[in-house]
Amino acid sequence: MDEYGNSGEGRATRRDEAVRAAVEQGLLGPDSPIVGLLDVTGIRESAAELRAAFAEVTAPGTPVLHAFAVKATPLVPVLRLLREEGIGAEVASPGELALARAAGLSPAQTVLDSPAKTPAELREALALGIAVNADNPQELDRIDGLVRSAVSRSPLGIRVNPQLGGGSIGATSTATATSKFGVALRDEGAREWVMRAYLDRPWLSRLHAHTGSQGIPLPLMAQGVAETYALAEEINRRIGRPQIDTIDIGGGLPVNFASDVTAPTYAEYARALREAAPGLFDGRYGLVTEFGRSLLAKHGTIVARVEYAKSAGGRAVAVTHAGVQVATRTVYVPGSWPLRITAYDGKGRPKSGPEVVQDVAGPACFAGDLLAEGRALPLLDQGDYAAALDTGAYYFAHHYAYNSLARPGIYGFVPAHAGGVRFATVRDPQTLSSIVAESGGAHAGALTTLHAPGSR
């Protein structure tokens, strides 16, 4: 166990206490059969660990902005908590920008990346002074027009793709030869185009790459950053002055979904980066990072009540309230995104007893809606709870409206005096009237008023 408790023992204890307290305090029960829980202590620890890891490898005084990738956990209270921990926001849509602003993040703490920014989005970002990374030549054209027509304080850069290849999960591999992101550096003429772009635009001061993600090995990530650094050096040498003053290394640190241990750690990654590109940390460049999953994943837990416990073809099946609506990737691509499941009894206490191979099913009406298939766990009974661990990023904050299942309430927790637990509401459970409203409730008659010519 290191100073940040990366063995995860503290995390597991806090989680167990929170599940029990959620049942005792009525957040979880027959009428609220699913919740998302966020471990505030753990989130603060990860933020501190991130800051410390880069402080350790950078020259004193190096400006470093850690911008949390909002898409990982798009919840305003989470962004506000991270802001208090000195973490900014990386946004990739007008919605995410609105969330960051609602959390009180300043333009200087915000970075806009996205592969499909509209002219209006670009104009707003430049008016606010938010950093923007152009994804492609057409977008840079649009930025040219805006820069000509108005003064902006926005730091501006270009996103490149070093095309190093993918990892074990295709859908989250950002640096493949044919990735849709950034300027593909190894394509014919691309490097020269990037060089010209900087030579012609003295206001282009940043270079961005995001080459990691779940399934990408650390050395490949470090190589992506090293190649980006080498390109910045080459550009600055050609121009004859340090025009690029900041390198945005993206996020993408993978998460260990197999146990409570944090691995790899930010400290390990930062050291690997310093080894791969020592010059990046010698104080000549400011740094931006964009971690998402690695900051939040291990601090979220979905807890769902077992509505029915049945048996089919000799297999025990626990029918719970957590399935595809909160664990979309896991349900559709279970091989790439397995989740740990723990069993709690009806009072929210960890369940013991012999392990039985069983399915943990969700509430949606299709056969594949399984949170876990053939998993060995203490046998789940009716009224027990199943918890899906490490779901703080890209899970319960990414509701999928299959079967019009309601978005669950999300609660943050901290240990309280005398073994208690204090909760705060992060997001209320979705109401039925909200589901109706989001499903066109205000336009109930809309289609019946449309008649093609000649029809009745």
Ligand X SMILES: *Cc1c(COP(=O)(O)O)cnc(C)c1O
Task: Using the CB atoms, write b or e for 265-298: b if 16+ within 10 Å.
Answer: bbbebbebbbebbeebbeebbbbbbbbbbbbbbb
Supply the minimum distance, in Å, between the C-beta of residue 184 and ligand X: 15
C-beta of 72 vs 160, nearer to ligand X: 72
DSSP label at 454? T
Which residue matches tokens 């073809």? 313
Q: Does 46 bind ligand X (CB under 6 A)?
A: no
Q: Which two three-digit tokens encode residue 296? A: 């939040």
**Cα–Cα distances in angstroms (integers) from residue 306 to residues 309, 347, 362, in the given order:** 7, 12, 9
Q: Does 289 bind ligand X (CB under 6 A)?
A: no
CA 456 – CA 352 distance, rounded (Å): 66
Amino acid identity at 341: I
Supply the minimum distance, in Å, between the C-beta of residue 294 and ligand X: 6
CA 34 – CA 28 distance, rounded (Å): 7
Helix ranges restricted to H, 240-370: 266-276, 293-296, 328-332
Q: Site for ligand X (CB under 6 A): how many residues?
A: 17
Amino acid identity at 6: N
Q: Does 71 bind ligand X (CB under 6 A)?
A: yes
Supply the minimum distance, in Å, between the C-beta of residue 213 and ligand X: 4
Partner residues linked to 166 by β-bridges: none
C-beta of 96 vs 369, nearer to ligand X: 96
Q: Does 121 bind ligand X (CB under 6 A)?
A: no
Supply the minimum distance, in Å, between the C-beta of residue 92 and ligand X: 6
C-beta of 286 vs 363, nearer to ligand X: 286
Q: Does 90 bind ligand X (CB under 6 A)?
A: yes
Q: Does 291 bind ligand X (CB under 6 A)?
A: yes
Is residue 344 helix, strand or coil? strand
In the list 88, 157, 166, 250, the residue contacting ligand X (rule: CB under 6 A) is 250
C-beta of 96 vs 260, nearer to ligand X: 96
CA 63 – CA 155 distance, rounded (Å): 14
Supply the minimum distance, in Å, between the C-beta of residue 1 and ligand X: 25
Selection from 394, 401, 402, 342 nearest residue 18 by Cα: 342
Region near ligand X per CB under 6 A, out of 194-202, 245-253, 257-265, 447-455: 245-253
Strand runs (DSSP E) across 299-427, as ranges?
300-312, 315-320, 341-344, 355-361, 370-378, 385-388, 409-415, 421-427
Q: Does 298 bind ligand X (CB under 6 A)?
A: no
Region near ligand X per CB under 6 A, out of 6-14, 67-75, 324-332, 355-363: 67-75
**Contact present, 339 and 391 (Cβ < 8 Å):** yes
Q: Does 300 bind ligand X (CB under 6 A)?
A: no
CA 399 – CA 95 distance, rounded (Å): 15
Q: CB atoms < 10 A from the CB of 204, how many?
A: 22
C-beta of 183 vs 343, nearer to ligand X: 183
Q: CB atoms < 10 A from the CB of 26, how many?
A: 9
Region near ligand X per CB under 6 A, out of 31-39, 40-48, 288-296, 398-406: 288-296
Which of left, alpha, beta for 228 (phi over 0: left; psi -120 to 50: alpha)?
Answer: alpha
3-state helix, strand, coil in the chain (%, to 5): 35, 25, 40
Q: Does 252 bind ligand X (CB under 6 A)?
A: yes
Q: Does 290 bind ligand X (CB under 6 A)?
A: yes
Partner residues linked to 306 by β-bridges: 320
Supply the minimum distance, in Å, between the C-beta of residue 55 and ligand X: 20
C-beta of 33 vs 251, nearer to ligand X: 251
Q: Does 292 bind ligand X (CB under 6 A)?
A: yes
Selection from 274, 183, 272, 271 nearest residue 235 by Cα: 183
Cis before 378? omega within 30:
no
In the list 293, 305, 321, 407, the residue contacting ligand X (rule: CB under 6 A) is 293
Region near ligand X per CB under 6 A, out of 98-106, 119-127, 198-206, 251-259: 251-259
Q: Does 73 bind ligand X (CB under 6 A)?
A: no
The CB-nearest residue to ligand X is 292
Region near ligand X per CB under 6 A, out of 287-295, 321-329, 371-379, 421-429: 287-295
Region near ligand X per CB under 6 A, out of 118-126, 264-272, 284-292, 349-357: 284-292
Region near ligand X per CB under 6 A, out of 140-148, 193-201, 249-257, 267-275: 249-257
Residues 170-229 that bind ligand X (CB under 6 A): 210, 213
Q: Does 251 bind ligand X (CB under 6 A)?
A: yes
Residues 346-405 that bind ligand X (CB under 6 A): none
C-beta of 8 vs 250, nearer to ligand X: 250
Region near ligand X per CB under 6 A, out of 185-193, 250-258, 264-272, 429-437: 250-258
Summarize as ranges the residues that interact with ligand X (CB under 6 A).
69, 71-72, 90, 92, 113, 210, 213, 250-253, 290-294
